[in-house]
Amino acid sequence: MTDENIIISKGLEGIYIADTTLCKIDGANGKLWYRGYPIEVLADKSSYEEVAFLLLYGHLPKKEELKVFTQRLISERDVPDSIADIIRNFTGRTHPNDILRTCVSAISAFDTDMADRSSDANMDRAIKLTAKMPTIVAMIGRYRQGKPFINPSRTLSHSSNFLYMLTGVEPDKESAKLIDLMFILHAEHGSNASTFSTLVTGSTLADVYAAVVAGISTLRGPLHGGADEAALNMMRAIGEPDNTETYIEDALAGKQRIMGFGHRVYKAYDPRAKIVYNYLKSFMQKTTDPKIEKLLEIAIRAEKLMEEKLSKTKGIWPNIDFFSGPLYTAMGIPSELFTPVFACSRVVGWTAHLFEYWENNRLFRPLDHYTGQLDIKYVPIEQR
């Protein structure tokens, strides 16, 4: 191929990397399916445990299968004592997402047989990480608040247990549904940046822990997992609901990016954002906290203005990150934990994609187009 025929696909946009049965995104029409099931149906009728089983095993579980899987997750919630030491030593020195990736890396040291690369052994690792990561994030949150760690519940659901371990209060019915919904909506989303980095690492035949650490690290950026934290910071900068329109208008005039709007894939309303938006409006009517009420109102007013200004004319619609922050805040989850919570949800998607890719593995080795000089004369350091 000559240089004239080389086409650079920046960000690998438009490049397909693998066949998959995990996720289908119709960005033009705002549609999303997990294993063929519409996200709206799963959000309404399913639980995170069911969705995790679906992604990992390829089908919705029967009652006994779900019971066994749920008990397995419960049995793996505890973490080694050294994880608490890492949290104590690192908290205050780096972002919680960085602590999480260090803890996940450390968990590999407690794997009884890292040489076992069988499908069953790797599935066990995926289940362990799915169970332990929320425990780790809750512990990080507790320590940041100067509060003692809380032992995992043996009766609460996967997502409710996380909220309980973080806040010290068993969530009410509405909060339990909402946190489970957020876990479901973040569980999987095709070949996004963090999933791709998981696959790149896994394609070298690195272990499950290393691949998941790559995913967690990639999630850290504000253009990916950190977008909901950035969007919330914007809402806090707005301060009062009546400032919303002026703030957004000034930001648009200055050509500033409005975090939580626009998506690489969706050119219509993000279906996950649409689901969360409805819950946000419902939550707003029931909250008695004036700070939370202001935050939710700012989000609703900003969405309305942006829809008038950009959504219908330029196809820049809100994505799930825009509404996640206010709802997480309403449930008592601090903003610095948003990205690690995202990782707790997405670990099943990462590992499911990894196992699927390993069925027909090929090392990722893209090309880059060299545009520099050649055969440059070397000048000894004394003559430079």
CA distances from 94 to 134, 147, 211, 221, 351 (A): 19, 19, 21, 14, 26
Amino acid present at 12: L
Cα torsion through 321, 326, 329, 334, rounded to 10? 40
Q: Give the torsion sign (CA, 34, 37, 40, 43).
A: negative
Residue 321 annotated to the active site: yes
Phi, psi of 246 (to 5 degrees): -65, -45
CA of 366: how far to CAs of 180, 285, 353, 369, in Å? 38, 51, 20, 10
The residue from 180, 186, 321, 353 that is catalytic is 321
Angle in degrees, CA 26, 13, 339, rounded to 5: 75
54 CB-contact burial (10 Å; exposed 0-12 / middle 13-18 / buried 19+) = buried
Catalytic residue among 263, 289, 368, 375: 263
Phi, psi (degrees; rounded to nearest 5) at 33: -130, 140
Q: Active site includes 120?
A: no
Per residue, the 3-state secondary structure of 71-90, as one string, reads HHHHHCCCCCHHHHHHHHHH
Please provide the DSSP assignment of 213-267 as one string.
Answer: HHHHHHHTSTTTTTHHHHHHHHHHHH-SGGGHHHHHHHHHHTT---TTB--SS-S
Residues noted as catalytic: 263, 321
